[in-house]
């Protein structure tokens, strides 16, 4: 019940295209859903995050869509660029003192020039 399932495992997109990565969760007590971007040999960097009281959040080319009833959320990268090529992780956390993150398995995105 603590799992976050992420798909696809890998994604290849042409420059200028839209990259879409999906995540699903089981635990309805999760109340914070961040997305992280990780380049090889580096630590993850926070991209964007959402709470279940909103259905969509946009920051620049990155948008999170959230479907509470379906227990799913997705990351959309508009106008994808080769510099976006990285591994993307979705995550979820519970309210409480620790706020531990449960990570998805990751999606390796390759944007072709």
Tell the smallest beta-carbon distance from residue 105 to other proteins (Å): 5
Closer Cβ to other proteins, 17 or 102, answer by number: 102
Query: What distance in Å separates the CA atoms of residue 28 and residue 38, rounded to the nearest whole number?
Result: 27
Closer Cβ to other proteins, 20 or 32, answer by number: 32
Tell the smallest beta-carbon distance from residue 87 to other proteins (Å): 8
Closer Cβ to other proteins, 25 or 44, answer by number: 44
Residues that bind other proteins in the complex, under the rule CB under 8 A? 32, 34, 36, 41-46, 49, 89, 93, 97-101, 103-106, 108
Tell the smallest beta-carbon distance from residue 113 to other proteins (Å): 23
Closer Cβ to other proteins, 1 or 113, answer by number: 1
Which residue, chain included where needed, has tokens 């961040």? 34
Q: Which residues contact 1 (CB under 8 A, 6 or more apart)?
A: 26, 27
Strand partners, 75: 21, 64
Which residue, chain included where needed, has tokens 């998805």? 104
Cis bond upstream, residue 8 (ω within 30): yes
């Amino acid at each position: 019940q603590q799992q976050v399932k992420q798909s696809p495992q890998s994604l290849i997109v042409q420059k200028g295209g839209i990259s879409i990565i999906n995540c699903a969760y089981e635990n309805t007590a999760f109340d914070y859903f961040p997305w992280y971007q990780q380049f090889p040999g580096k630590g993850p960097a926070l991209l964007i995050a959402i709470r279940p009281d909103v259905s969509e959040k946009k920051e620049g080319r990155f948008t999170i869509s959230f479907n509470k009833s379906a227990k799913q959320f997705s990351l959309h990268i508009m106008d994808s660029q080769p510099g976006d090529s990285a591994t993307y992780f979705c995550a979820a956390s519970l309210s409480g003192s620790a706020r531990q993150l449960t990570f998805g398995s990751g999606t390796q995105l390759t944007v072709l020039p």
